[in-house]
Amino acid sequence: MPASTRHHKALAVFVHCLGILAAVPALPTAAPDPATARQPTATQPPAPQAGTRPFTARQPAPTHPPAAEPAAATATAVPGRPSAPPAVPTPTRAAVPPPKPPVTLRVASESTPAPRYRIQVRNDGNRPVSTTVRQELPPGTAPTSITDGGRAVRTAGNDVTEVTWRLRLPARSTTTLGTAVTATPGRSLTAPACAFAVDGSRPYDCATATWRAVPVTGQEAEKPPAWRHPTALLAGLGGVAVLAVGGLWTWRRRRRPRAVALSDDGPGTVYPRPATPGAVARKRKPSTWLLVPVAAVVLTGTVGTAAWTATRTVPDVDTDSRPTSGAWKGTGAYGGVGDPLREAAFEFTVYRVACEPGRGARQCAATVGVRNLTPEQQTWHGRLQRAYLADGNFVSTDEQATRRANQGRDVFAKPMAAGSRMVLPLVFTVHGREPPTQLELRSGVFSAGVRVDLP
């Protein structure tokens, strides 16, 4: 038999054997052993069979029907072998939103010529609650009126920085407070307020409002200088050009040669004289009447172009914007106390920063509102929250002190639920007498974050 024929027959036998092995699992199997058979489900009770083994101590009888198993889990458990993974993965448990505080607070500004704020404190519980309300005043302002019970807090420099109230809120009640401060012309003023526990350390809720100055009418608005108007600028350039052209025309007319009438035979006969060698004509310099207008036109055109470009470009430049590096996620935001600032995932609002007196190691507590603006839960870290000092150095959150300020709760241990908001104190341990000048808050390592300038 040729070698090629033998190889083809051997290959055919091998393929035939593989087909038999593949068809074996499809054949009907024998009845399973009752000892290793799977427990019947609640929806399909087993039929009684003769010769079934009774339940032993190692296999106790079920007192209630077991739960139905998924249709995909049909494989029987074999002793000594690991069980198969579930057909559907177990979903990750979603973060639980923080509970609603017993005291809520709202702040609104009134449309008045002078800055005036209205604070509403509400107790939604079924029993009375004692609270302390603190309102931060904008820098450089002083209170002009405070509702009954309020007290102005002064610093060592005799400047009023905040107004406080101690309240006893009845069950399901709303109390309205009000303050008015001095105004600064053309300046918007932001005044945040917070409701704290009786000890004044744990915040219940915070809110903020910005009073905006009444817009100035067209008659009261300051008029721009005349040189900024395009009409005046073009008129000035046209006048200088006319003077330059007039001066040039006058100079050329004075320099035009005149015809000379010469006669040796008597008057009345004009003829050209024979050519005689004369002196070489000297090159004359341009007259001052020409140089001055030309120089004036060039100078005026340069200055006018620069002024025109400056007046058109400078107003379009936002001096407050600070671009961030392209390596960060999102765009950084900058603001002051009471301004809601949004970054990649969170919206941060710094309501208040209070530091302990002293010169050595001391703690500064920042009351911060954090809102998750994304549809997913987000995790943030204490080491990414920083307080910058006057010398340029920074310190991260003191996590142990922050846990104590939050009644032993680690606010960074669990992620924030989607759409949730919480108000909490962040504690920073600083060294020296000067307080922090800026806070940097961010949700993630690669987030651009926000920066808050402190007064």
Question: Residue 301 has what pLDDT?
Answer: 72
Predicted pLDDT at 68: 42
Is there a common fold for 103-211 and 333-453? yes
Joined tokens for residue 201: 């350390």
pLDDT along the chain (455 residues), means of 10: 59 71 55 47 46 45 45 45 50 77 94 93 94 92 91 81 94 95 87 90 93 64 59 69 72 62 51 54 58 71 68 48 56 92 95 89 95 94 94 94 93 93 96 92 92 94
- Which class is domain 103-211? mainly beta
Given 2.60.40.1240, 3.40.50.970, 3.40.190.10, 3.30.300.30, which CATH number is that of 333-453?
2.60.40.1240
Residues 382, 402: Cα–Cα separation, whole Å: 9
User: Structural domain boundaries of the chain?
Assistant: 103-211, 333-453
Look up the pTM and report it. 0.59
